[in-house]
Amino acid sequence: MKIEAVIKKYQKPISFFGAIAIVSAVYIVFAIEAANADYYDGDDGPKPPEPGGLKNETTTYDDHLDELGTHEYEVNKSGLYTLLRATLYWDEEGEDSYEPLLTNYGDTFTLTVTDPEGESQSETATNDNGQSATIEIEFAYAENQEPVGDFNITVTLDDAGDYWPIIGPSVGITDPGNDYTLTIEVEYLELIQA
């Protein structure tokens, strides 16, 4: 077959209905693309969420840890965080009947808070005998610096100081753990779908 014949064979004119079918297919593809687009497309497209009013929430957890135990907490709000404050409080507890012969040595807790950007603050403290103790960690954000996402908060009881005699033989009684109260205050600009 000559080359001219081959070209002629494949150069058949497109039918009227064929042209309509192609135009329709192109139109449908564009319509589907437009429907799936998640960008802001004038007044007809989906609008991005906007920051609403400032919300303030406080959550309190009363819990207990055995020595060397860790508890994890997560804060996940749909909004722009302006502030998060975590406060850990614990008091001396145990067998009062051991007193005054034995002293209950302090318990050591660590509080760690990691913000949505991965920044971390950590603090460790031990209560004095017969006293309570507090650790406070705060993240505050300037305007237009507010992060979005999750805060992770961990509480660890590093050491539950045991009961030791005030005088006499060096034989102690184990302090197995301690109660604590974790208070999480969070302020955020709630994101509202416009």
Question: CA-to-CA distance for 181 and 175, rounded, in angstroms?
Answer: 18
**178 binds Ca ion, rule: CB under 5 A:** yes
Residues 151-170 vs Ca ion: string with x where CB under 5 A? ---------xx---------
H/E segment holding residue 23: helix 16-36
As to burial, measured by CB atoms within 10 angstroms (0-12 exposed, 13-18 middle, 19+ buried), residue 137 is middle
**Bridge partners, 93 (sequence order):** none
Binds Ca ion by CB under 5 A, chosen from 82, 104, 112, 156: 104
When asked if residue 127 is in the footprint of Ca ion (CB under 5 A), the reply is no
CA dihedral 64, 69, 71, 72 (to 10 degrees): 170
Q: Kindly state the smallest distance separating residue 181's Cβ from Ca ion, in Å.
A: 14
Q: Bridge-partner residues for 115, per DSSP?
A: none
Q: Give the containing element (helix H, strand E) for 120.
A: strand 120-126
Shortest Cβ 97–Ca ion spacing (Å): 15
Tell the smallest beta-carbon distance from residue 66 to Ca ion (Å).
Answer: 10
> Which one, 41 or 179, has the nearer CB to Ca ion?
179
- Stretch of 22-30, 56-64, 72-80, 106-114 lying at the interface with Ca ion (CB under 5 A): 106-114
Contact residues toward Ca ion (CB under 5 A) are 104, 107, 160-161, 175, 178
